[in-house]
Amino acid sequence: MNAISTDMVATGAPVAIRGLEKRYGAVVAVHQVDLEVKAGEFVALLGPSGSGKTTILMTIAGFETPTAGSIGIGGRDVTVLPPNRRNIGMVFQRYALFPHMTVAENIGFPLRMRKIGGAEARTRVEAALAMVRLEGYGDRRTSQLSGGQQQRVALARALVYNPPLLLMDEPLGALDKNLREEMQLEIKRLQQRVGATVVYVTHDQSEALTMADRIAVMDGGRIQQYGPPREIYDSPSNAFVAGFIGETNFIDGHVAGGAKPVFAVDGSEQKVALEASGAPREGPSRLAIRPELIRLGDPAGSELSGTVEEMIYGGGTVACHVRVGNGAVVMARVPAADAIGVRLGDRAGLVWQADRAKVFPR
């Protein structure tokens, strides 16, 4: 990517949300949310539809008024300020470009609204075009651009006036898979170079894992877990997070305590040893284990075993679906070389390191 003009470098602003609540009549869309975003940090709000993530974004932007709580940007309370006084940039899924304007006019529109014109505006627009690799496209109409190019124009327009905070609402949702993955990396690199703080709404877990410094996983209007991608993936705080982020096998059973706690699989004589430090209280529970953490082993020497019902070839890996004693199907995603010789109907043991399994109350 081209060098960025010093005029285009932003200084990110921290965001502080305290006790945020948003009600629509009897419906609570956001419930008592606290969220800290550091200056220059890329934070993803991740969750299913209706989880409250877009509502939070709209309250930060000023398009929604909180029922309760406060919002601070750069140390300034903006809870009741209108959007045009918050000095933030926004990129939407639909881009919201003006079809009657050229690319340069679209990018320069925020400058015109701020009474910035003449040579300074032209310099900023040219720098923004270079920043998103669209030099020479200024005179084109937006209808002449591809989806990825339109997305770049929307990004340049949001950054042309150096906002300290950039809000992005599913900006890559309209792009095809390959272009979406390319733009994920491009947006992340650009954000790191300009230094702006980004709050990014998505329902795509891979997008959040790829781009974010920290992820706020949301469900039911609440933040279920907030932390770095690896922490969210490796150490989910509850069953919802474990099931929403990545692939996870869930096995129902109950925990039997003692010096060596075990997980007894429902409807089966099989028991799985647990790490004493991570075992929950005794009672009905769900064991969660990622498919890529499971190895196939000798059923006679394995705590959990079953019958191979399906094998799905995926290039370097094979997804082996094994039905265990209680009828549950557990998927092991193993290297293709480890699946050589395994056949449908074979008995197979399922093996993993005890500290990699998570057990949640049921």
Domain C-terminal end among 239, 260, 294: 239
pLDDT confidence of residue 228: 98
Same domain for 233 and 269, yes or no, is: no
Same domain for 12 and 160, yes or no, is: yes
pLDDT confidence of residue 279: 62
pLDDT confidence of residue 91: 87
Confidence category of residue 10, pLDDT binned at 50, 70, 90: low
275-314 burial code (b ≥16 CB/10 A, e <16): eeeebbeeeebbbbbbbbebbbbebeebbbbbbbeebeee
- 14 pLDDT more than 50: yes
pLDDT confidence of residue 3: 43
Same domain for 226 and 269, yes or no, is: no
Domain C-terminal end among 181, 213, 239: 239
Residue 233 in any domain: the answer is yes
pLDDT confidence of residue 276: 64
Residue 119 in any domain: the answer is yes
Same domain for 191 and 322, yes or no, is: no
- 112 pLDDT more than 80: yes
By residue range, what is the domain housing residue 129?
Answer: 6-239
Three-class secondary structure of residue 210 per DSSP:
helix
Between 296 and 91, name the one with better pLDDT: 296
Same domain for 71 and 219, yes or no, is: yes
pLDDT confidence of residue 277: 64
Same domain for 119 and 216, yes or no, is: yes
Q: What percent of the chain has pLDDT over 70?
A: 95
Total tally of structural domains belonging to the chain: 2
Kindly report the average pLDDT of the chain as a whole number.
89
- pLDDT tens, residue by residue, 223-276: 999 999 999 999 999 999 999 999 999 999 999 877 788 899 998 888 888 876
Same domain for 224 and 342, yes or no, is: no
Same domain for 105 and 159, yes or no, is: yes
Residue 1 in any domain: the answer is no
CB 214 within 8 A of CB 207: no
Confidence category of residue 152, pLDDT binned at 50, 70, 90: confident
Min mean pLDDT across 34-38, 149-153, 241-245, 319-323 is at 149-153
Domain C-terminal end among 214, 239, 264: 239
Write the CATH number for 340.
2.40.50.100
Average pLDDT over residues 308-325: 94
Average pLDDT over residues 281-304: 91
Write the CATH number for 63.
3.40.50.300
Min mean pLDDT across 42-51, 209-218, 255-264 is at 255-264
User: How many Å apart are CA 217 and CA 230, to the nearest integer?
Assistant: 13
User: How many Å apart are CA 21 and CA 179, to the nearest integer?
Assistant: 36
Same domain for 44 and 177, yes or no, is: yes
Q: What percent of the chain has pLDDT over 90?
A: 59
Same domain for 170 and 290, yes or no, is: no
- 62 pLDDT more than 60: yes
Report which of 239, 237, 180, 235 is spatially closest to residue 210, judged by C-alpha positions. 180
